[in-house]
Structure 1
Amino acid sequence: MAQNPARGRTVAPFERLFAARGGCHGTATGGTAGLSLILGVAITGASYGIGTPFGAMLVAHGTNNIYEGVGNIIIGPNNQSSVVGPVKYLYQQRSNSVYEGNMAYGAVDLML
């Protein structure tokens, strides 16, 4: 445990990591992305092909979320831009604007 000078109490090492990243959102997103990737493969395999469209969407969104999460960790919290994965980019290109593409991607991601 280390002493946190800002709060005057001891903190676990992972708490310093979360504070450096601005919270635990990136870590939580990466964990759920990995879970959706595994779940998509399992649904596709267990349904003998019937659940392939749903499983493929889970795999695509999970892979895209992992790509964006790792990319944002690499560029760091001080960079003003964020990484846009290939699936989100496809949503942006198929929509009338980047905003609409992001909203459509986010809505589908939440539904999955």
Structure 2
Amino acid sequence: MSIEDLARANVRALTPYQSARRLGGKGDVWLNANEFPTAVAFQLTEQTMNRYPEPQPKAVIERYAQYAGVKPEQVLVSRGADEGIELLIRAFCEPGQDAVLYCRRPTACTASAPKPSA
């Protein structure tokens, strides 16, 4: 049995997201990537933060795979553990069939917020 066999049928049937860059294309304006077209010459400043980052950055994946001793295709980049856990639950657990209690831990803001007094 493979990991794919464990995924929900509707997840296996999905077409993977393809970013505008992965689909190819040439030029400096990426309207199909929902990006603002009129940035100045690229330097990482607040004025040039008009591009979405690559969702699965190849260099990060390759370096982490090497560090972890796994294949690059076994690595998924997420925006943190919470998103990674949520993605796993959504991919492998059937609504109404599987029972999972997913509790997000409090953020620094809610953890330090004043508590109501009695």
Query: Do Structure 1 and Structure 2 share a fold, with TM-score over 0.5?
Result: no
* TM-score, normalised with respect to structure 1: 0.28
Does 1 or 2 have the higher relative contact order (CA < 8 Å, sep 6+)? Answer: 2
Q: Specify which structure has the higher proportion of strand.
A: 1
Q: Specify which structure has the higher proportion of helix.
A: 1
* TM-score, normalised with respect to structure 2: 0.27
Whichever of the two has the greater Rg, that structure is 2
